[in-house]
């Protein structure tokens, strides 16, 4: 039995990454929504839990942890079956390596109204790598679903919802289909859609 609480905001890709990891691991958690639009992360009660006031934040019987990937690793290690976060150090190293970065945060919260060219290029370079990693594989770190897939799906679904063109990345498209089996997939897509709508509203057309 777990006594987990996840402080979560469904529009946030890192937060959805932790949410999807928990779902895939099959561990239940109380979900507490921290609405970043209402600046709830700056409330006195949340600052007491996480002085760096970010989501996702996990609480496990008084133990507090933030950073989505650290959360996924901790929960997988404590509650998960081996395939999601392999014990074999080389397999685990590959899972740890498959990371991706987000670029829409300044548009949503920083008053920025267009995606800068260098960020677009960087993201397309990252997607090219991801597409190569996926060549001949069902999932990003091998043939089994791992917590690297849940983290990356949360990010990719956000950029797709913003309207990113991934037509050149056929392996990513195939992998996205494979990801439909992940528990929590639907909730993730709904959060991503809300994120995409919010970003598109702030973008200059
Ligand atoms: N690297 C962190 C990023 C966490 C993060 O930036 N969270 C944002 C939402 S996407 C947040 O909580 N921002 C509110 C704040 O920092 O006050 C992770 O992967 O968890």
In terms of domains, do 153 and 195 share one? yes
* 57-60 sheet: strands from edge to edge: 29-33, 4-8, 57-60, 63-66
Distance in angstroms (rounded) separating the CA atoms of residues 21 and 151: 7
In tens, the pLDDT along 53-76 reads: 999 999 999 999 999 989 999 999
Q: Into how many domains does the chain fold?
A: 2
In terms of domains, do 92 and 174 share one? yes
Please answer whether residues 114 and 203 qualify as being in contact, where contact means their C-beta atoms are separated by less than 8 angstroms: yes
Token pair 């007491």 is found at 48
Which one of 55, 70, 104, 151 would you pick to mutate in the ligand 1 pocket, going by the greatest count of ligand atoms within 8 A of its CB? 55
pLDDT score recorded for residue 129: 83
- pLDDT, one tens digit for every residue, the chain (205 residues): 578 999 999 999 899 999 999 999 999 999 999 999 999 999 999 999 999 999 999 999 999 999 998 999 999 999 987 788 888 877 776 776 664 544 555 555 555 666 777 777 877 888 888 898 899 999 988 899 999 899 889 988 988 998 889 999 999 999 999 999 999 999 999 999 999 998 888 876 6
Task: Choose one of 79, 107, 137: the last residue of a domain.
Answer: 79
Determine the structural domain holding residue 50 and report its residue range.
4-79
In terms of domains, do 50 and 127 share one? no
In terms of domains, do 74 and 110 share one? no
**CATH code for the domain of 182:** 1.20.1050.10
pLDDT score recorded for residue 110: 58
Residue 113 CA to ligand 1 center (angstroms) comes to 20
As a residue count, the chain comes to: 205
User: Would you call 68 a catalytic residue per the annotation?
Assistant: no
Please answer whether residues 134 and 148 qualify as being in contact, where contact means their C-beta atoms are separated by less than 8 angstroms: no
Task: Choose one of 29, 48, 79: the last residue of a domain.
Answer: 79
Tell me if 36 CB under 6 Å of ligand 1.
Answer: yes
In terms of domains, do 49 and 95 share one? no
In tens, the pLDDT along 167-199 reads: 999 999 999 999 999 999 999 999 999 999 988
Tell me if 191 CB under 6 Å of ligand 1.
Answer: no
**CATH code for the domain of 25:** 3.40.30.10
Tell me if 53 CB under 6 Å of ligand 1.
Answer: yes
In terms of domains, do 67 and 148 share one? no
In terms of domains, do 12 and 44 share one? yes
Distance in angstroms (rounded) separating the CA atoms of residues 86 and 1: 22
Q: Whose CA is nearest to atom 13 of ligand 1?
A: 54
Distance in angstroms (rounded) separating the CA atoms of residues 199 and 104: 7
pLDDT score recorded for residue 162: 86
Residue 88 CA to ligand 1 center (angstroms) comes to 30
**Nearest atom in ligand 1 to 67's CA:** 20
Nearest Cα to Cα of residue 158 among 186, 197, 120: 197
pLDDT score recorded for residue 101: 47
């Amino acid at each position: 039995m777990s006594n987990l609480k996840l402080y979560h905001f469904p529009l946030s890709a890192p937060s959805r990454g932790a949410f999807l990891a928990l779902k895939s691991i099959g561990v239940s958690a109380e979900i507490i929504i921290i609405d970043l639009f209402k600046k709830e992360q700056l409330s006195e009660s949340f600052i007491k839990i996480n002085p760096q006031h970010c989501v996702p934040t996990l609480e496990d019987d008084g133990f507090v942890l933030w950073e989505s990937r650290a959360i996924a690793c901790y929960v997988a290690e404590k509650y998960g079956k081996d395939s999601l976060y392999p014990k074999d150090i080389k397999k685990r190293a590959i899972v740890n390596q498959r990371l991706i970065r987000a670029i829409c945060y300044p548009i949503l919260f920083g008053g920025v109204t267009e995606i800068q060219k260098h960020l677009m290029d960087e993201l397309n370079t990252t997607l090219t790598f991801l597409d190569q990693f996926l060549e001949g594989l069902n999932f990003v770190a091998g043939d089994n679903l791992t917590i690297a897939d849940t983290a990356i799906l949360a990010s990719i679904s956000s950029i797709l919802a913003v309207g990113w063109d991934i037509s050149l990345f056929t392996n990513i498209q195939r992998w996205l289909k494979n990801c439909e089996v992940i528990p929590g997939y639907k909730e993730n897509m709904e959060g991503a859609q809300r994120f995409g709508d919010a970003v598109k509203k702030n973008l200059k057309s």
